[in-house]
Amino acid sequence: MLEILYQDDYLVAINKPAGLLVHRSNIDRHETRFAVQLLRDQIGRHVFPVHRLDKPTSGILLFALNADVARQMMAVFVNGHVRKRYQAIVRGFVELKGSIDYPLQETLDRMSDRNAAEDKPAQAALTHFKCLARAEMPFVTKRHSTCRYSLVELVPETGRKHQLRRHMKHIFHPIVGDTTHGDGKQNAFFRTYLGSHQLLLTASDLHFPHPVSDALVSIHSPPDAEFVRVIEQLNWQTND
């Protein structure tokens, strides 16, 4: 059963588990479970996803309950009226707060984007970040006597593909568990010593004007059990 975070006559939001695809994709042809299918069967209604959430990312995923509302909600996203917040564990000690203003070249998937143009110019991309806490583990690496990590809040102003993962890599603080844009040695450390095999990135908050009533909707999702388990194993120090 998917955890339902919000539902009315027009919209429903779930807490998507890490590793679950939103819908069927040529990239993962072997997969047989999808959020669209599971939610449809659970509530007995057709559902229409209105935004993306990468397969390894957990957290808030919003659906419309009919095609007209889906189009209206997509316009809310396109017009920049949606505020999204994420939490992530990243390598190293990040600054207390800052912004990453770094254009991103569109990344193409070999299967699903095989007909897309490969020479598109880089698109503007902006992410704000804030350090919530820092942790240091007594494990020696080739360069340092300890391993350092930060728990961060990430607020994207744009919605480019893999934006948060690519932006954190750009400032040399990749998200732990990212097998595409991350640090392989740190990922291996978390698998071996902490038993963590997932991307430590979760969509925690979503705020938007309702496409029908125009009332402000605020949805919060706590980190999943695996994210919490990892947090509890690290020696965190807050910035207070």
54 is catalytic: yes
Total length of the chain? 240
Q: Give DSSP secondary structure letters for the chain.
A: -PEEEEE-SSEEEEEEPTT-BSS--GGGTT---BHHHHHHHHHTS--EE-S---TT-EEEEEEESSHHHHHHHHHHHHTT--EEEEEEEEES---SEEEEE--BPPP--TTTTTTS-S-PPPBP-EEEEEEEEEEEE----SS-SSEEEEEEEEEESS--TTHHHHHHHHTT-PBTT-TTTS-HHHHHHHHHHH---S--EEEEEEEEE-TTT--EEEEE-PPPHHHHHHHHHS-EEE--
Among the options 9, 28, 41, 54, which is catalytic?
54
Bridge partner list, 236: 135
Catalytic sites, residue numbers: 54
